[in-house]
Structure formats: structure tokens, C-alpha cells
């Protein structure tokens, strides 16, 4: 016996399946085409980016270096290059590849998208900083210029990405690099970290693992060919020069005003109190404002009150209100644990 | 003269803007933060100079005492669980009486009157069926079973909120939520979910970061809501309690229900953890939880706001969905194809799959068409069982939902439906883990403004429930 329901069901399923295949905007076939176009676009854009980075670092960009950067073989790279020439984005000059002015504009557009994405991820999501770069690396190829302009407008035309690198403007304006690598500092120098290179990933991971980020003030304690020892925000760190070369700094002419200390809010056990000295530069944007909103401002007296049965968070009395913060945040707030004399009655 | 002047000013303006724009490169990335900090610093200084704080109050500090009691390692969790249990018990037990009144009024008194009226004015049988037996009855049913528990739970919950207890619950549980990648305030929306998931989802508004809010929304369904407690209690009493000697039957069936509720809490944590490792990756970016001072609750204001903002709001949404669903239920039971009702065709189609996962076609169809509210699942199951097994002497006719006064009638109908212990266990599990009701789904859509997250919220528990039932069924069949 053929059940009517089954026949109706079978027809419905077939119709839905066909619609799914051929739908003009969301259908499977359309999507496959889109993906293929996107892959092509991605290679072109990655090639231009590589070329631009070579230019800024004054390195020669060749077929070989491009093949290395894209993990392509030479054949495939040559094909890509001829396509780029067709689009008059690059010029082949002897062995070297050079960006045309049109190609440079395009490359700057991609870099702008990449850095805006990183800033968005840093400010608006809870995604770990290690992953910002790789996510931006994929997303940068998906948006049109108009969409990016809208995002830039919402973010109020930011000028720097979360690593401190400048974001090109819409017209492709970007300031010349004025910083020096950390390896050029001498013992006793004070400097401020301006930007941290987010590539290669392994080196970047080591830098972030030490909690170093742009905006931090550092003091060089020891500098030998093997290592650089320095103080940053109350902690002492040691880096190999290979890694330190990925940190760009500005030399400071005199000792900066101290806004950090050895003690953080996380060191305050319930019943103890301390005065806020500053919030770590690692906390930025909205997160920083949130902390200031609840009254964590240099000079504020904070008393640790109760700890959750789970050990975290801890509730602090801040300007008359009882507010719970997690240990991870409390660790970013520098305090002076000395008791103010005026509070002992 | 004038125009050239204007042009000069315009040029000046442009050059100033240009200068400002080029200087933005020099001030560095942290310029805004530094500016903000100095503004806050000045504000704090002005405030400190202007405000003088009176001498601290002497004597016993109630706030600190209560905080110590409610957040201590020893007494914190037991007190929390006890209070939640008491609130739920008052709700479930206390709602029976007004629910009885309402159902007497709407179902026993008003329904026959309306039916007679429809017949007197010569309404055709099918129109009367759709309007009175379908739409009216579903709506009346939803009102009479939903209104009393909500009218009890929401005010009680709001009182606890006002008093300041709930932020302490979030404070105690935050470490667990942190491990699941979620926000401690999810404890609030979860507790609210025990009353009503739709209200629980509205309660996620207090979580200000979008990722953690979404996790709280998607996992809220695992908090066993008011609409599902009665189902759990009924099935546990009939099937689990029957396994043990009568003396401890009540206790064991209560334990079974508590187990399901605790399983729901466990699933909340597990699925939050799963989401924060997969589609909602990331960490809590901003966390701050204010523990406000304890204050005596304002009873009248609480009653008013919880009744207007929560009870009426949720009830209205439920009614909106119940009316068309009532028509669908009636039509499915009354449209005949090959002299068999549409409902029976679907039941037959769903039965093989239903049996595979230890349920049956009737239960699956009931969960599909009783989507407006979990409260009407059992009445729908009863109606469909009577219809598909052509039992006589039960119920009110095809497409008309009903309920029994005594447990033995339930037993008879379920036995006729071919129910076993496995069916009961899996119904309890499936009741915990299935797509949220349409009111909740609509609320999820309203809150997340995304079809995608609404679909995820529906499919995640549903697939989990099917999987869980399948495993239970296969393991059960190994031993029985």
C-alpha cells in the first residue's frame, strides 16, 4: 500500500532539494562558484600583500619568495603572476616583482581590512589574541571596500590596530615607520613599545605569553648578544634577540611616571585593602572603560571583601559598592597594598 | 568680499582638519584611553572633594553577616538549593488549586456553553470544531495551566531578585560558569528558566557581552521549566514510583524528577562549554558583577511589575501561538484520508523512528503539534493515543484535548498505547531535551535577532535528546 503521506513527503523533499541546488543567491551551485571566485581573489590579494611587505622591509620580491609565501610551486606562482600582470597590479622587472601604484592601493586596502578586523576582534569579542591574526587573514578577503568603510565609520576611523601597527586610511595614507626594534636599545634605556609584529605566529605567541603588548613602558636591565633582560609593568622578562627584534619601540628621553607595581588586586586577600595605582596597558578600549566606570581609577581605595566558594571571583568594595571581579581581571589592576593611615580609626 | 572671506575660513577649517588628521598618527593608539582616564580621574577628584561620607554605622552589620552566610563554602550552596527548591515546590504545589478553578471555569463550564451556542446558531460541525474544540480549547488550556504557576513563580523570583539574593547565587556559581566559558550572570537566567524559559531568555539581557549572552540563551532550555515539571512528576509517579514498594514510592519518584532537573543543570554547563569551544569561541571579555546591598523587597511594586512585565507578557505570547496550534491539532485529528485521520497517518509514519529511540509515534507527533506550550503535551498525547488506538470510554472526541482526575485512567490509556518503563524514562529525558516551545523560540528570535541562533537553539537540545533517547533505548533493550 502506498501511503499518501509518504508520496507527499517525497515530492516535498525533492522540491526542497532542487530549490536548494539552484537558488540564485543561497543555492549550492551558486555557493560553489562563489567559493572558487573567493579562492582566486584570496591568492591575488595574498600575493599583493607579500609584495607590499617586501617593499616596506626593503627586501627583494621574487617569484621564489612569492612561491614560498603562498606555499605554491613555481608553475602555479608563474600563472598567478601573469594574472596579476594582466590586471596591471604588478610589473615584472628583471627578476624582481614590483607593485604598480594601482597594486599598492589594492594592497593597502587589504592591509586596512586586516587591521580593522583585528581591532574589531580585540575590542568587541572575547577571542584570544593569538587567534586575531589568523581570523583576520581569512576575513580580509571577504568584505567589499564599501562594507569596510562602514565598519571603519562605526569604529570611528581608528588609526592603529591592537598590535600598534598603523591602519591605512581610505585614501591609502600610512605614516612612515619611525620606530626602532627593541634590539637597538642599550642598558638603562627607557622605551615604550609601539607595536608588536604578529607574524611569525610562534614568535608572537612567545611575546604575548610574557604579557607584553603595545603601549607598555620598558626599562632595559641587561643586553648581551644572547639575551635582553628588561622590566615591564612590574615584571622582569628575558627575551632572545631574535624575538626582541619583533618588538618595535620608541626611545623615551626620561624615566616615565610609574603607573605599575609588584602587587595587583588579585594579591589582596579578603579583609585587606589597597590603593589603585593603575590599570595594565593590556586592558584596552571598552574593557578599560568598564573598569573605570565602576570606579577603578588611580587613587581609589579598594577593600577586598568576600571570595566566592569556588575561589574565584572575589568581591571588592569600591567607592561604596560591592563588586565582584574575576582573578584574571584583578591581576591587571596594580595596587599599593599599604594601608592609608586615615582609614584606621 | 564676503565670499572670499568665507573661502578663507573654509580653507582654514580644512587645513585645521588636515593638521588634526596628520597629528592623529603621532598621538599613538592609546590616546583615547589616556584621555578617558584623565577625565575619570578629574571626576573622581571633584567627587571626593564634594562628597563627605558620614561616620560608618556602628553595631551589627547585617549585610556582611548575610554575605558570609550566603557565600560561605559550607552554607552557600545548600541555602541556595534549598531556597530554589522551596520556590519551585510552592509554585508546583500551589498552582494546582487555581489551575483547577480556571480549568473548571474555562473547560468544564464555558466550553459546553460555547459548544451549545455554536450548535444553536447553526454553525457547521467542522467550523465549530476548529473554533471551539481547536482554537478556544487550546487557548483556554494554556491559560489555565500556565497562568497560575507563572503568577506564583514570577513574583517570588522577583522578590528574591529585589532582596539581593540572586546576585549572590551568580557570585557563588561564577567559577563553574567560568570553566564552561560562560558568564556568572547566566546563573540568574538559568534559575529564571526553571520557571519559564521564555522569561529566562529575557533575563539574559543583564549579560552585556554578546557571546556570553548567546550561550545563556541557547542553553536556557536545559533548565526544566514550569510546563515540564508536571509532566515529569506525572510520569515519575506512574512508572518510576511503581518499581518500588509503595512506602517509598513517593520519595523515589521525587528523586527521579530531581535527577532530571540536575541532569538539566549538568547539561547547561556541558553545552555552554561545548559552545564556547566550537561555534562561540572566546573568553569572557568584560566581567563585573555588582552585589547590591540587601534591602527589604517592595512587595506591591514587585507584584505589579512581575505580573505585568513577565506573566502577562509571556502568557500573551503563548496564547498567540496556542490559537493556531489548536486549529492544527483539531484538523489533524479530523481530516480523513482513506478513511483514516491525518494524525494517524503521521503517527504511523513516525512510529518506526519513535520506537527506535524508545518513544512512539504518538509522543513525537504530540511534541510537534503541542509546540506552543509544554503544558499541553500530555493532554495531546492522551487525545492522540485514544484516537489512534480507538479506545472507547475515554476522552471527548477526536481533536479535543483532555486530562484525567485519577492516576489509574492514565495508566489504562498509557498501557493501551503500549508504554513500557523505557517509554516513560525516555519521555522524561525527551521532555528535558527537546526544542523549546514556540513562545520561547519566538523570544529567542526577538532577543538574538537572528534566525541562525534560533535554529541552533532549537536543534541543539533536540538532537541531543534524540541521541540520548537512542542510547538509552539500545542499552535498555540489551538488558530487558
Domain ranges of chain A: 28-99, 180-252, 265-343
How far does A87 lie from chain B, in Å, by closest CA?
Answer: 32
Pairing assessment for the beta strands A228-232 and A180-181 based on DSSP bridges? unpaired
Chain A contact for B175 (CB, 8 A cutoff): yes
Torsional class of A37: left (φ above 0), alpha (ψ -120 to 50), beta (otherwise): alpha
CA distance B420 to B397: 25
Which of A298, A299, A329 is the closest to B287 by Cβ?
Answer: A329
Chain A contact for B36 (CB, 8 A cutoff): yes
How far does B447 lie from chain A, in Å, by closest CA?
Answer: 18
B174/A6 Cβ within 8 A: no
CA distance B201 to B379: 26
Q: Which residues of B touch A126 (CB under 8 A)?
A: 209, 211-212, 282-285
Q: What is the pTM of this model?
A: 0.82
> In sequence order, which residues have a C-beta less than 8 Å from that of residue A338 and are 6 or more positions away?
A274, A275
Give residue B1's pLDDT. 47
Number of CB pairs, chain A paired with chain B, less than 8 A apart? 139
Q: What share of chain A is helix, strand, coil (3-state, %, to 5)?
A: 45, 20, 35
Chain A contact for B291 (CB, 8 A cutoff): yes
How far does A243 lie from chain B, in Å, by closest CA?
Answer: 23
Element (H, E) at B438: helix B438-448
Q: Which residues of B touch A299 (CB under 8 A)?
A: 41, 44-45
Question: What cell numbers appear for A153 in the block?
Answer: 565609520
Low-confidence ranges of chain B (pLDDT < 50): 1
Fold of A180-252: SH3 type barrels. (2.30.30)
Instruction: Tell me the torsion sign for CA atoms B137, B139, B141, B143.
Output: negative
Q: Which residues of B touch A310 (CB under 8 A)?
A: 172-176
Architecture of domain A28-99: Orthogonal Bundle (1.10)
Do A180-252 and A265-343 share a fold? yes
Q: Tell me the C-alpha to C-alpha distance, in Å, between residue B68 and each of A308, A336, B7, B178.
A: 10, 26, 70, 22
How far does B287 lie from chain A, in Å, by closest CA?
Answer: 6
DSSP state of A311: S
Q: Which residues of A touch B64 (CB under 8 A)?
A: 305
Chain A contact for B250 (CB, 8 A cutoff): no
How far does B408 lie from chain A, in Å, by closest CA?
Answer: 35
Outline where B278-341 has alpha helix (H).
Answer: 299-305, 313-334
Give residue B470's pLDDT. 95
Cβ–Cβ contacts within 10 Å for residue B196, how many?
A: 32
ipTM over 0.85: no
Q: Which residues of A touch B76 (CB under 8 A)?
A: 309
State the burial class of residue B434 (Cβ atoms within 10 Å of its Cβ: 0-12, 13-18, 19+): buried
Chain B contact for A321 (CB, 8 A cutoff): yes
Element (H, E) at A72: none
Nearest C-alpha in B relative to A158: B29
CA distance A126 to B209: 9
CA distance A149 to A321: 41
Give residue B11's pLDDT. 77
N-terminal to C-terminal alpha carbon distance within chain B: 103
> In sequence order, which residues have a C-beta less than 8 Å from that of residue B406 and are 6 or more positions away?
none
How far does B28 lie from chain A, in Å, by closest CA?
Answer: 8
CA distance B339 to B341: 7
Q: Tell me the C-alpha to C-alpha distance, in Å, between residue A120 and each of A150, A172, A286.
A: 13, 20, 11
Cβ–Cβ contacts within 10 Å for residue B14, how many?
A: 10
pLDDT in tens, chain A (345 residues): 567 777 888 888 888 888 888 777 777 888 888 787 778 888 888 889 888 888 888 888 888 888 888 888 888 888 888 888 888 888 887 778 888 888 888 999 999 999 999 988 887 777 788 888 888 888 888 888 888 888 888 888 888 888 888 899 888 888 887 888 899 999 988 998 888 888 888 888 888 888 888 888 889 999 998 999 998 887 888 999 989 988 989 888 888 777 777 889 999 999 898 999 888 888 877 788 888 888 898 888 999 999 998 888 999 999 888 999 999 889 989 998 875 444 433
DSSP state of A279: E
Residues 134-173 on B with a CB inside 8 Å of A are: 171-173
Fold of A265-343: SH3 type barrels. (2.30.30)
Amino acid at each position: 500500500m502506498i501511503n499518501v503521506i509518504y508520496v507527499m513527503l517525497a515530492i516535498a523533499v525533492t522540491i526542497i532539494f532542487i530549490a536548494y541546488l539552484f537558488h540564485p543567491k543561497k543555492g549550492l551551485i551558486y555557493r560553489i562558484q562563489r567559493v572558487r571566485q573567493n579562492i582566486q581573489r584570496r591568492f591575488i590579494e595574498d600575493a599583493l600583500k607579500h609584495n607590499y611587505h617586501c617593499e616596506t622591509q626593503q627586501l627583494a620580491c621574487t617569484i621564489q619568495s612569492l612561491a614560498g609565501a603562498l606555499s605554491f610551486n613555481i608553475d602555479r606562482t608563474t600563472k598567478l603572476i601573469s594574472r596579476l600582470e594582466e590586471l596591471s597590479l604588478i610589473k615584472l622587472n628583471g627578476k624582481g616583482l614590483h607593485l604598480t601604484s594601482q597594486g599598492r592601493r589594492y594592497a593597502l586596502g587589504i592591509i586596512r581590512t586586516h587591521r580593522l578586523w583585528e581591532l574589531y576582534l580585540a575590542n568587541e569579542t572575547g577571542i584570544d589574541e593569538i587567534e586575531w591574526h589568523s581570523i583576520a587573514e581569512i576575513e580580509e578577503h571577504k568584505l567589499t571596500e564599501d562594507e569596510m568603510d562602514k565598519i571603519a565609520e562605526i569604529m570611528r576611523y581608528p588609526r592603529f590596530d591592537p598590535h600598534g601597527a598603523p591602519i591605512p586610511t581610505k585614501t591609502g595614507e600610512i605614516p612612515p615607520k619611525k620606530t626602532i626594534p627593541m634590539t637597538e636599545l642599550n642598558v638603562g634605556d627607557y622605551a615604550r613599545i609601539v607595536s608588536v609584529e604578529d607574524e611569525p605566529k610562534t614568535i608572537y605567541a612567545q611575546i604575548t605569553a610574557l604579557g607584553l603588548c603595545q603601549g607598555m613602558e620598558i626599562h632595559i636591565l641587561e643586553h648581551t648578544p644572547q639575551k635582553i633582560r628588561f622590566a615591564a609593568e612590574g615584571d622582569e622578562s628575558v627575551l632572545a634577540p631574535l624575538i626582541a627584534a619583533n618588538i618595535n619601540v620608541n626611545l623615551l628621553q626620561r624615566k616615565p611616571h610609574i603607573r605599575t607595581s609588584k602587587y595587583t588586586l588579585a594579591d589582596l586577600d579578603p579583609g585587606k585593602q589597597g590603593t589603585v595605582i593603575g590599570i595594565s596597558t593590556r586592558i584596552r578600549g571598552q574593557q578599560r572603560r568598564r573598569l573605570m566606570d565602576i570606579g577603578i581609577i588611580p587613587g581609589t581605595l579598594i577593600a577586598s571583601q568576600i571570595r566566592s566558594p569556588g575561589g574565584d571571583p572575589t568581591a571588592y568594595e569600591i567607592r561604596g559598592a560591592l563588586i565582584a571581579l574575576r582573578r584574571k581581571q584583578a591581576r591587571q589592576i596594580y595596587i599599593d597594598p599599604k594601608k592609608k593611615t586615615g582609614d584606621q580609626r | 568680499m564676503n565670499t572670499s572671506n568665507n573661502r578663507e575660513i573654509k580653507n582654514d577649517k580644512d587645513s585645521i582638519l588636515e593638521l588634526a588628521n596628520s597629528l592623529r598618527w603621532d598621538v599613538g593608539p592609546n590616546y583615547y584611553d589616556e584621555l578617558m582616564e584623565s577625565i575619570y580621574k578629574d571626576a573622581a577628584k571633584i567627587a571626593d572633594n564634594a562628597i563627605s561620607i558620614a561616620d560608618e554605622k556602628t553595631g551589627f552589620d547585617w549585610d556582611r553577616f548575610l554575605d558570609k552566610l550566603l557565600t560561605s563554602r559550607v552554607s552557600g550552596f545548600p541555602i541556595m538549593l534549598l531556597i530554589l527548591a522551596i520556590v519551585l515546590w510552592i509554585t508546583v504545589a500551589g498552582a494546582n488549586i487555581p489551575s483547577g478553578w480556571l480549568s473548571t471555569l474555562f473547560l468544564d463550564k464555558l466550553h459546553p456553553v460555547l459548544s451549545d451556542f455554536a450548535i444553536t446558531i447553526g454553525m457547521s460541525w467542522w467550523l465549530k470544531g476548529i473554533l471551539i474544540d481547536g482554537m478556544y480549547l487550546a487557548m483556554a488550556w494554556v491559560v489555565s495551566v500556565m497562568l497560575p504557576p507563572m503568577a506564583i513563580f514570577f513574583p517570588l523570583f522577583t522578590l528574591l531578585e529585589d532582596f539581593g539574593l540572586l546576585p549572590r547565587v551568580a557570585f557563588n556559581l561564577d567559577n563553574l560558569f567560568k570553566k564552561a566559558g560562560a558568564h556568572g550572570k547566566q546563573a540568574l537566567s538559568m534559575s529564571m528558566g526553571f520557571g519559564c524559559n521564555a522569561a529566562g531568555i529575557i533575563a539574559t539581557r543583564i549579560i552585556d557581552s554578546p557571546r556570553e549572552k548567546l550561550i545563556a540563551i541557547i542553553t536556557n532550555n536545559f533548565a526544566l521549566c514550569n510546563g515540564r515539571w508536571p509532566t515529569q512528576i506525572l510520569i515519575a509517579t506512574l512508572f518510576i514510583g511503581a518499581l518500588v514498594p509503595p512506602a517509598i514510592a513517593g520519595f523515589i519518584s521525587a528523586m527521579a524528577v530531581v535527577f532530571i532537573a540536575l541532569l538539566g543543570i549538568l547539561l547547561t554547563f556541558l553545552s555552554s562549554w561545548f559552545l564556547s569551544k566550537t561555534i562561540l569561541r572566546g573568553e569572557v571579555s568584560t566581567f563585573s558583577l555588582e552585589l547590591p546591598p540587601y534591602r527589604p523587597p517592595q512587595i506591591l511594586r514587585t507584584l505589579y511589575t512581575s505580573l505585568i512585565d513577565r506573566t502577562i507578557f509571556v502568557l500573551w505570547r503563548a496564547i498567540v501561538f496556542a490559537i493556531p496550534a489548536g486549529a492544527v491539532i483539531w484538523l489533524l485529528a479530523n481530516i480523513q484520508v482513506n478513511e483514516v485521520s491525518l494524525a494517524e497517518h503521521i503517527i504511523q509514519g513516525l512510529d518506526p523512528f519513535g520506537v527506535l529511540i524508545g518513544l512512539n509515534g504518538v509522543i513525537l507527533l504530540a511534541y510537534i503539534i503541542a509546540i506552543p506550550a509544554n503544558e499541553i503535551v500530555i493532554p495531546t498525547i492522551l487525545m492522540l493515543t485514544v484516537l489512534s488506538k480507538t479506545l472507547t470510554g475515554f476522552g471527548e472526541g477526536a481533536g479535543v484535548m483532555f486530562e484525567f482526575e485519577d492516576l489509574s485512567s492514565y495508566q489504562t490509556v498509557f498501557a493501551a498505547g503500549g508504554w513500557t518503563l523505557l517509554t516513560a524514562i525516555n519521555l522524561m529525558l525527551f521532555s528535558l531535551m527537546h526544542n523549546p516551545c514556540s513562545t520561547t523560540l519566538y523570544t529567542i528570535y526577538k532577543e538574538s535577532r537572528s534566525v541562525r541562533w534560533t535554529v541552533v537553539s532549537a536543534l541543539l537540545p533536540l538532537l541531543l535528546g534524540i541521541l540520548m533517547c537512542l542510547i538509552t533505548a539500545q542499552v535498555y533493550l540489551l538488558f530487558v
